[in-house]
Amino acid sequence: MKKPTSLSCLVTTLSLLVTVPAWGEGKADLSRLVVIGDSLSAGYQNGSLLGTQQVNGYASLIAAQKGVPLTLPLIAGPGIPNVLQLISPGPPPIMAPAPGSSTGRVDPFTQAANLAVPGADVRNTLNTRPDLAFDDLTDLVLGLPGLLQGISRSQVEWAEALQPTTLIVWIGNGDALNAALAADPAALTPLEDFRADYASMLDRLAATGAALVLGTIPDVTVIPYLTTAADVAAMAGLPLAVAGPVLGIGQGDYVTPDALPLILAILGGSAPGPLPENVVLTASEAAAVSAAVGSYNEFIATQAALKGAALADVNGLTSRIQSHGYVAGGQRLTTRFLGGMFSLDGIHPTNTGYAIIANEFIRALNTTFAAGIPPVNVEHVKEADPLVLPGAGHPAYALGAITPAQASSLRAVLAH
C-alpha cells in the first residue's frame, strides 16, 4: 500500500489538473446534510446499531459542531444485534450481549438523512433497496417511512430525492472487510468492479449539485478483530519460534476469533495442529488485502480530485495511530483491543475513535470548502467514554475478547 504521503501528493497533483465545479467554491452549505456509507458511517459500535450509540457517530458529531440537523434512523435498545457489554476488562476481557430484543426504529415515521447501512458495499449503495419483510438493517434504515407509502429506494436514490446541499460519502470498507472476517483475500471486491461502481455512484451523487466529502478506507488489517501471531505466542507464554510451528502460523500472520478454541485445544494437547486455513490470514494474504485497500484509495483520491470533493484521509489517520498511538488527556490510545480506539466488536470505533475520525472529516471540509467547523474536543469525549479505561495504552490482549459466537453475529450483519 502506498504511504499516506503518496496519497496526499496524488490528490494535490490531480487537483491542479482539473477544473473544480462552481458548487465546490467557497463555503459549504451543510443545511441539508446527507450521509452515504456502511456501518462506520451509521455509528455502529459494540456489535450493534443502537440509538444511544448512533448519536456518537462521526457524522453526527460533524453536524453538531456545525449546528445543523442530521436525522438518524435510531434503533431501540438493546440494538440490532443486541449490543455487547463489557462484564470485566480482564485479562482476559469478558463480554456478553445485552438481554432483550429491539422493537426496531424508535420513530418509524421520520425520514433519515444518515442513509448508511451496516454491511453495505459500494454496489449496495446503488442497487440494494428495502422490502416489506423488515428482516434486516437495510429495511429499517432505508425502508421507513418510505415503504409505508409504497416507496423503496437505495442509498443513492434516497440521496437524490433528499436534495442535499452537502453529501458525506464514506463507503468501501465493506468491500475490504469481508477479507478480514473470512481470512480470505478472495472475499475482496475485484478492483475493476470497485472502480466501476464507485464512479457510477459518484457521478449520480455529483449530479445533485451537493458539495461532496469523501473518505478513504482504513486498512482492515489494523482492526483488533484480528490477532497477530506474535500476540498469540505471547499469550501462550512461548516464543513464536516454538508456538508458531505447532499452530502453523508465523511472523506477520493473523488469526480470527474462530481460532481461539482451536488454539487452546492444540496447545493443550487435546487436538492436533496446525490451525485450518479459514481462521488464519497469512502475512502474504494480509499484504494482498492491504494492497487492494491501497488501490481502492488511489481511485477514491482520483475521483475526489475530478469531482472537486473534499477528501478525508482516514486510512492515513488510522495508520498513524497504529504506529504511534493517539494522545488524549494524558493517555496514549492504541488500536489494540481495549486500547481506547476500537469498541468491543474489534471493528468499529469507540466514542473517542469516532471523535478523532470526525475531526479528520472536519479538517477536509474546512480545507476544501472553508466550512468554518470547529473541531470536536477529543479530550472531552474521551473523559466520558466508557470504553477508554484507566489502563488504555496497556490493554488486555485481543485473543479471547471476541468469541466465535460473537464473530458469527458480526459476520451475519457485516458480510455479504
Q: What is the pLDDT of residues 286-332, one digit of tens each?
A: 999 999 999 999 999 999 999 999 999 999 999 999 999 999 988 99
Q: How many domains does the chain have?
A: 1
Instruction: Give the Cα separation of 305 and 303 in Å (integer).
Output: 5
Q: Has residue 234 been placed in a domain? A: no
Q: Has residue 140 been placed in a domain? A: yes
pLDDT band at 12, cuts 50/70/90? very low
Average pLDDT on 49-66 reads 98
Q: Has residue 265 been placed in a domain? A: no
Instruction: Give the Cα separation of 122 and 128 in Å (integer).
Output: 10
Q: Has residue 228 been placed in a domain? A: no
Instruction: Give the Cα separation of 6 and 335 in Å (integer).
Output: 23
Q: Has residue 277 been placed in a domain? A: no
Q: Has residue 236 been placed in a domain? A: no
Average pLDDT on 179-199 reads 97
Q: What is the pLDDT of residue 387?
A: 96
Average pLDDT on 214-229 reads 96
Report the amino acid identity of residue 289: V
Q: What is the pLDDT of residues 341-352, one digit of tens each?
A: 999 999 999 999
Name the residue with cell 451496516: 118
Q: What is the pLDDT of residue 89?
A: 86
Q: Has residue 121 been placed in a domain? A: yes
Comparing 260 with 358, which gets the higher pLDDT? 358
- Written as one string, the DSSP assignment of 267-299 is HTTSS-SS--GGGEE-HHHHHHHHHHHHHHHHH
Q: Has residue 250 been placed in a domain? A: no
Name the residue with cell 498513524: 320
Q: How many helices (H) and strands (E) in the chain?
A: 17, 11
pTM for the whole structure: 0.92
Q: What is the pLDDT of residue 93?
A: 85
pLDDT band at 416, cuts 50/70/90? low
Instruction: Give the Cα separation of 49 and 333 in Å (integer).
Output: 24
What's the grid cell of residue 407? 464473530
Q: What is the pLDDT of residues 120-139, one digit of tens each?
A: 999 999 999 999 999 999 99
**CATH code assigned at 167:** 3.40.50.1110
Instruction: Give the Cα separation of 7 and 315 in Å (integer).
Output: 10
Range of the domain at 41: 4-222+285-414
